[in-house]
């Protein structure tokens, strides 16, 4: 049995090792602000819009809303907003959330017919006593606030859905991600949601954006049409505060992309922020969170993509994903670039 003195010695040793490990990842002392970062290649174009606000000393909240509206309105981006790939029933359902430096947040889930769900999420935050509105209630609220009702299904996305219908079995599958270990199940999983597979045609997906403004305030936004051909009513991580997005002005902010079920299970973005609170750099906090997901089921993790992106209050940023292929975009007064995210596999 450990005596008390030995226990204290071991604890002291392990905590100094931990602080060495954290420090070896920590960045320099200077604060980079304003700065905006966002997921995937389309983040670059979205950052341009956010930067227009940040460079004029505008708020991080306004910047992230304006930034993610770019892919929401782009019919050629089939994973966010207008033109998004529909669910199994051919319905385009959108998930979005937003969070500011005071811990205010708003979210819409499974919202149909509205071009800019992120702006509805912001109105939920600012004009209601609630945080989340879902489905018909979210639509009703959006219409009451003057949003226009439109058809989000473009001919291209309708074509892709009809093509998928030819080969798909219309059967809900439970724990499909676990079945990906099984070779026989892999082909049906692929037709259900091709973007599960890294490098697949629909792999470039959700936009998550984080910004630190000139006043030193952080905000974040996350918006998506979710997994292609999902069951109707399925909600992913993107509109779930703590999963798809989390902001704590004392520490930093994080957002996610990839298979939402895995991110919800691990409350991923909140975990990234809490790891940064413990002293980990944004990149190492993302890496540790990805490892948590991989370690739960290493075999199934081989076939799915999950990526995290984080920004701390000093303007340091980092990302980590399970698979190769995850990119993120950074814009500050010194930098405008697209960075390949590191990955475990």
Return residues touching ligand SD4 (CB under 6 A). Answer: 195, 205-206, 224, 226-227, 236-238, 257-260
The set of residues, in sequence order, having a beta carbon less than 8 Å from that of 323 and lying 6+ positions away, is 198, 199, 304, 305, 343, 344, 345
Q: Which residue blocks in the chain are alpha helix, DSSP H?
A: 4-25, 42-54, 60-73, 117-127, 135-144, 155-167, 176-179, 183-192, 260-266, 268-277, 282-296, 298-301
Give the C-alpha distances (Å, rounded to integers) separating 304 from 16, 81, 176, 297, 323: 35, 23, 11, 11, 8
Catalytic one among 39, 206, 257, 289?
Answer: 206
Pick left, alpha or beta for residue 309 (phi over 0 → left; psi -120 to 50 → alpha; otherwise beta). beta
Is the CB of 53 or the CB of 70 nearer to ligand SD4? 70
Smallest separation, CB 196 to ligand SD4 (Å): 8
Question: Is the distance from CB of 108 to CB of 239 less than 8 angstroms?
Answer: yes
Is the CB of 47 or the CB of 79 nearer to ligand SD4? 79
Smallest separation, CB 133 to ligand SD4 (Å): 17
Is the CB of 37 or the CB of 54 nearer to ligand SD4? 37
Strands 245-248 and 252-258: antiparallel
Smallest separation, CB 210 to ligand SD4 (Å): 15
Residue 136, token pair as written in the block: 């018909």
Question: Is the distance from CB of 68 to CB of 45 less than 8 angstroms?
Answer: no
Is the CB of 58 or the CB of 81 nearer to ligand SD4? 81
Is the CB of 277 or the CB of 302 nearer to ligand SD4? 302
223 catalytic per annotation: no
Smallest separation, CB 22 to ligand SD4 (Å): 28
DSSP 3-state of 311? strand
Place of tokens 């292929």: 325
- What length does the chain have? 345
DSSP 3-state of 6? helix
Smallest separation, CB 95 to ligand SD4 (Å): 6
DSSP 3-state of 157? helix
Using CA of residue 61, residue 64, residue 65, residue 66, what is the dihedral sign? positive
What is the spatial distance between Cα 87 and Cα 278, in angstroms, rounded to a whole number? 39
The set of residues, in sequence order, having a beta carbon less than 8 Å from that of 65 and lying 6+ positions away, is 98, 118, 119, 122, 221
Smallest separation, CB 58 to ligand SD4 (Å): 27
Smallest separation, CB 170 to ligand SD4 (Å): 20
Residues annotated as catalytic are 206
């Amino acid at each position: 049995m450990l005596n008390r003195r030995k226990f204290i010695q071991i604890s002291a040793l392990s905590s100094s090792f931990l602080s060495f490990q954290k420090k070896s990842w920590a960045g320099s002392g200077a604060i980079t602000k304003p700065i905006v970062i966002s997921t995937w290649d389309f983040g670059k174009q979205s950052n341009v819009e956010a930067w227009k606000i940040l460079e004029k000393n505008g708020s991080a909240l306004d910047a992230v809303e304006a930034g993610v509206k770019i892919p929401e309105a782009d019919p050629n981006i089939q994973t966010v907003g207008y033109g998004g790939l529909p669910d199994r029933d051919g319905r385009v359902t959108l998930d979005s959330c937003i969070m500011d430096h005071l811990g205010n947040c708003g979210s819409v889930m499974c919202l149909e017919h509205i071009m800019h769900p992120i702006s509805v999420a912001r109105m939920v935050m600012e004009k209601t006593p609630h945080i989340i509105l879902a489905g018909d209630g979210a639509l009703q609220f959006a219409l009451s606030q003057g949003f226009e009702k439109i058809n989000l299904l473009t001919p291209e996305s309708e074509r892709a859905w009809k093509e998928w219908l030819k080969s798909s079995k219309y059967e809900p599958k439970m724990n499909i991600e676990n079945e990906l270990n099984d070779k026989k199940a892999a082909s049906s999983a692929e037709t259900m949601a091709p973007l599960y597979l890294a490098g697949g045609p629909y792999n470039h997906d959700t936009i998550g954006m984080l910004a630190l403004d000139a006043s030193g305030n952080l905000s974040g936004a996350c918006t998506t049409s979710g997994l292609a051909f999902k069951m109707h009513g399925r909600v992913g991580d993107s509109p779930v505060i703590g999963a798809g997005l989390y902001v704590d002005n004392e520490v930093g902010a994080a957002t996610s992309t990839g298979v939402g079920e895995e991110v919800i299970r691990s409350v991923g973005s909140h975990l990234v922020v809490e790891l940064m609170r413990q002293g980990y750099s944004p990149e190492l906090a993302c890496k540790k969170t990805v490892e948590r997901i991989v370690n739960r089921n290493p075999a199934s993790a081989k076939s799915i993509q999950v990526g995290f992106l984080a920004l701390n209050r000093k303007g340091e940023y980092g990302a980590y994903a399970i698979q190769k292929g995850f990119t993120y975009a950074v814009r500050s007064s010194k930098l405008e670039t697209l960075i390949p995210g590191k990955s475990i596999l």
